[in-house]
Amino acid sequence: MKTLKLITAIAFTVLLGFTSCQSEESKEIGTNPNANSSTSPTASNYERAAQNDGSDDDFLDGNSCTELLFPLTATVNGQQITLISKLDFSAVLNIMGQFNNDTDNVSFNFPISVKTSKYTEVKVNNQAEFDALQQECENAEAQGKGAISCIDINFPVTMLTYDISLEQTGSVVVQSKKQLYTFMTDLQSDELFAVNYPINATLSNGTAVTIKSDAEFQNAISECVQFEDEKEDAATTAAEVEAILSGTKFKVETFITAGANTANDYANWSIEFTNDLKIVATNVVNAALGEVEGTYTVSSETEAFVNINFASNTALSALGNDWVISSFSNTLITLQSKTDASVTLAFKKI
């Protein structure tokens, strides 16, 4: 989501004065029985969709309700790094990705500054204040008040305003998330609004949608939240499987290809997944065959994957594939080819 500078209350008042109208050109002039109050579900949906999204830096601060502001200095796994912009995130991720069986540790050189979901800039002076912001975020999410970051509204959007008698009082052209958030949170108890549909939006799964009603906006949110939940579940699976694989030796329990189980071809091999994303296969019967090395990565989208790669013309090259994680336990991991569901592979811990 785009991050925009905080506008002042005076500037927003000017915007209201400039864009408010009650002309005959408005499509919704007059009464509107579908107008929403400030406490309606539609108001909540638009307010949450307009909140400042602080999830891009969650790998650093673990707080989706706050956006880290630059510059800042942090110590990541014992290495101090100064971040000037989001371009420096890659350096942090490289440090975190050196080993996959360690616990990443991030500590900030306080004070640091953050922007909250309400677009307020806050100076954080110490770890206690940092932890308090994290707790506040968790409370908001538990109460269903956290940001809905999976839908990106295409601006401008026109909001039609009404009094409690359902008579239109004007219209407001909203140009950004920040302005939309301000509009929604400034609504008074005697003020109503309606969205001048249709509007366009893009969901986090890449789908572009045209929304023609409050109900369709709710449906779009439900769709993208479900997609985000699937991504989160897949990421959890990937992390758990990576932890099981890392630093552990396995044997090929089954390898089904072309309808046949060829696991016996690998009965004499132990396969170790190292903590730096290498695979070392060792023939436990014939030492003269030495070791065969490969690489692996564990990733996720809406499913979790294990990519295995061995050089061609080696005893293990047939195991190389992009695999979908079908099931797993602490001792057995079952995989299915991403491109051919009939090809399956299972590793059993030795």
Which fold is adopted by the domain 246-349?
A: Lipocalin (2.40.128)
The pLDDT of residue 2 is 33
Q: Is the pLDDT of residue 19 over 90?
A: no
Q: Is the pLDDT of residue 18 over 80?
A: no
- The strand order across the sheet containing 151-153 reads 151-153, 199-203, 208-211
The pLDDT of residue 288 is 85
Orientation of helix 9-19 relative to helix 177-186, angle to 10°:
90
For 170-192, what is the mean pLDDT? Answer: 97
Residues 6+ apart with CB under 8 A from 224: 148, 150, 151, 203, 204, 205
Segment among 28-42, 90-104, 146-160, 241-255 with least mean pLDDT:
28-42
For 174-186, what is the mean pLDDT? Answer: 98
Q: How confident is the model at residue 22 (pLDDT cuts 50, 70, 90)?
A: very low
The one-letter amino acid at 227: F
The pLDDT of residue 78 is 96
For 244-260, what is the mean pLDDT? Answer: 97
Instruction: Please state, in angstroms and as integers, the Cα–Cα distance from residue 294 to each residue in 27, 36, 95, 320, following that order.
Output: 65, 60, 22, 9
- Helix%, strand%, coil% for the chain, nearest 5: 30, 35, 35
The pLDDT of residue 279 is 97
Q: How confident is the model at residue 101 (pLDDT cuts 50, 70, 90)?
A: confident
Residues 6+ apart with CB under 8 A from 206: none
Residues above pLDDT 70, as percent of the chain = 91
> Tell me: the pLDDT tens digits for 313-337?
999 999 999 999 999 999 999 999 9
Domain ranges of the chain: 9-51+149-238, 58-142, 246-349
Q: How confident is the model at residue 31 (pLDDT cuts 50, 70, 90)?
A: low
The pLDDT of residue 27 is 41
| Mean pLDDT value across the chain | 91
Q: What is the value of pTM for the model shown?
A: 0.83
> Tell me: the pLDDT tens digits for 32-78?
767 999 999 999 999 999 999 999 999 999 999 999 999 999 999 99
Residues above pLDDT 90, as percent of the chain = 87
Q: Is the pLDDT of residue 229 over 70?
A: yes
